[in-house]
Amino acid sequence: MTDTSQRSSTDPTPAAGKGSWTPKRIVTVSAGVLGGLIILLFLIGLGLAVFTNAEATAPRIQIIRDIFIIIMALEFILIVFALAVLILQVARLINLLQNEIKPILQNTQETVSSAKGTVDFVSSNVTRPIIRASGFLAGTGVLLRDLGGIRRAIRRNGRGQEDDERV
């Protein structure tokens, strides 16, 4: 237990993990900064409307509004461009699947069925006859061995009886 506690106190990886910029942390910070900027602009506009002459600040606010409208239009154009790129990429993926991967899968299926036919042919025409012949030869060998054993047993018994009669 003390060994693991010493490792965790001297291990530099947990400290490095806390200070690194992960994508989740970047998105969170960016959203916070953007939200804070919008709130700050709203408060500035509210302060200008309340504490200054509205007729004098109206043209300034209109300019700021127009700038925001232009920025929103540019963002919209960027989003449309990104969607067009996305649609093109999806079309390329579908084309890839239809023209390259589908024929590869068909060839693979044909190869597997051909291999299955070959295995069936070899099994029925080569393997089974070899196994049958091997079994027959093994049985014949056992039969001959047993016959040889019977002969030896008969010879031994015949000699053993002759030896008994001599004595």
- Tokens describing residue 79: 């989003």
Q: What is the pLDDT of residue 71?
A: 92
CA–CA dist 83, 66 (Å, integer): 26
- Confidence class of residue 129 from pLDDT cuts 50, 70 and 90? confident
56 to 40, 49, 51, 74: CA distances (angstroms): 21, 10, 11, 29
**Cβ 60 vs Cβ 48: under 8 Å:** yes
Rg (CA), the chain: 46
Residue 163 predicted with pLDDT over 70? no
Position with higher pLDDT, 140 vs 157? 140
Position with higher pLDDT, 56 vs 3? 56
Least confident stretch, 60-69, 78-87, 118-127, 155-164: 155-164
**Is the torsion defined by CA of 8, 12, 13, 18 positive or negative?**
positive
Average pLDDT estimate for 87-105: 90
Sequence-ordered list of residues with C-beta below 8 angstroms from that of 61, at least 6 positions apart, any chain: 45, 48, 49
Average pLDDT estimate for 136-160: 80
Model confidence, pTM: 0.42
